[in-house]
Structure 1
């Protein structure tokens, strides 16, 4: 599934962006390669975690990465207040009893570290590459990185039309659209503020459980959702946007 997401992302973004590869510096390519590595590891690790522990708990643990980034990037007491409120929401989401495996938690933490790296490298890639060129290149590189493991794990299943269609849809909805929007957002948002805004993801995962898995939120989980929503809104309102010109 991770490979199918990346393939879909690579094909669509290359077709849309038609990245210009000539004249790129060595540093441009190193940043794009690092971005690709973080992209591949982030997706692979969180799916490994999903296979072992509940989705909501995995995403909650994964958020440790962006939250750490937000803490490191905070400079004022007010910033730390929003970070703390987001952290409270994440902790509340993680208080529900669940059977957790060490491997599942470890993969979620790895995904969180890759997520933090993804935020920083996405911002750097967006500054160095025009439009969606950098994201398209990184998606191609990440696809190449995951091809051999995907073939070994999936085999002939990767040629199943139903699997291909589902993979393409998931790729469009969870890779092409959000990654493109995030790269554009990181051209005007500080990574620390972006990291706090990502606190909406654990809440979104909990809400998705209602729709997809028919799991009702407990009062404690609703309180957690309120914490992360308020923290995200407060972080955005209290921090000025930093505006950097996009590459020509």
Structure 2
């Protein structure tokens, strides 16, 4: 599985051993703890950012988040833009567009249907990429389980917000596109320069939004603080945590913990925002998480 939204794929990790290096178990345990903290940070940041929606709206919060992500990624990646060729530029610009659209659709979905359901629908993006690349029967079963979860979430009800559901699915499509584009960028541009450049251009696209908000609807100090916290907790912290995690745990373990994000989102939404879910929603979330978990556990590495 790929990194969560707001993050970007880091450089391939290398295992370095030395006499003073921690034992494998200790390294793996540290990686697991880091992954758990990263997931909680990501979802808590989204929850805190939603507190600024009444003042800034989802687009204003996303703009601030994009600024923070750009600052972190550009500082780490230090892209050499003058050396980029035409073949390198087009996937970078597409990645920038997808990056911004993904976060905007996700936060707009959170505003309408809540954190847990929005993140669960968005998670269908990487899950679909993983299942589509397989021809195993077990993955066909996983796809059916996930589909059953989606049908349950989107079943017709008087209170069903289909626009919010649609925005969550748009975020899923964007995340899937983000994964594919990141692979292309990673093959054509060394290190994280491509991802850093894409993040920077995505932030530039949201610059007019920030100017309009400041001029026409000056944000309160509280709303600005919430949006900034969302940027730090959902972009900066998870990205840096992933750089540490990928050096300590196998990719399979990383994927398993990524699959827990919908559950973390539902729990954080309940605790921080008071967004409770019924047993049918919990069953649907569990089905989608179980489909991903089963697919990963049965994959031969």
Query: Under a length normalisation based on structure 1, what TM-score does the superposition of the two structures give?
Result: 0.76
Q: Of 23, 41, 44, which aligns to 2:104?
A: 44
Structure 2 unaligned blocks of 5 or more:
1-60
2:175 is aligned with 1:115 = yes
Q: Distance in 2 between matches of 1:11 and 1:119?
A: 21
Between stretches 117-126 and 91-100, larger displacement belongs to 91-100
- Aligned partner of 2:187 in structure 1 is 127
Contact persistence 1:200–1:228 (CA under 8 A) = no
Alignment of structure 1 residues 22-37 onto 2, 5 Å: 22-37=82-97
Q: Distance in 1 between matches of 2:89 and 2:170?
A: 24
Classify 1:162/1:203 alpha carbon distance in 2 versus 1 (closer, same or farther; 3 Å): same
Q: Distance in 1 between matches of 2:89 and 2:158?
A: 43
Q: Distance in 1 between matches of 2:166 and 2:285?
A: 24
2:245 is aligned with 1:174 = no
Query: Under a length normalisation based on structure 2, what TM-score does the superposition of the two structures give?
Result: 0.64
Q: Distance in 2 between matches of 1:54 and 1:63?
A: 14
Superposed CA RMSD in Å reads 3.4
Q: Distance in 2 between matches of 1:80 and 1:51?
A: 33
TM-superposed deviation, 1:156:
5.8
Classify 1:109/1:215 alpha carbon distance in 2 versus 1 (closer, same or farther; 3 Å): closer
Q: Distance in 2 between matches of 1:158 and 1:203?
A: 35
- Aligned partner of 1:245 in structure 2 is none
Q: Distance in 2 between matches of 1:199 and 1:90?
A: 15
Deviations 1:152-196 (A, max 9, x none): 3454656654444332321122123445639x97xx969xx96x9
Structure 1 unaligned blocks of 5 or more:
242-248
Classify 1:98/1:13 alpha carbon distance in 2 versus 1 (closer, same or farther; 3 Å): farther
Instruction: Answer 1 or 2: higher relative contact order, Cα 8 Å, separation at least 6.
Output: 2
Give the number of equivalent residue pairs: 235
2:70 is aligned with 1:10 = yes
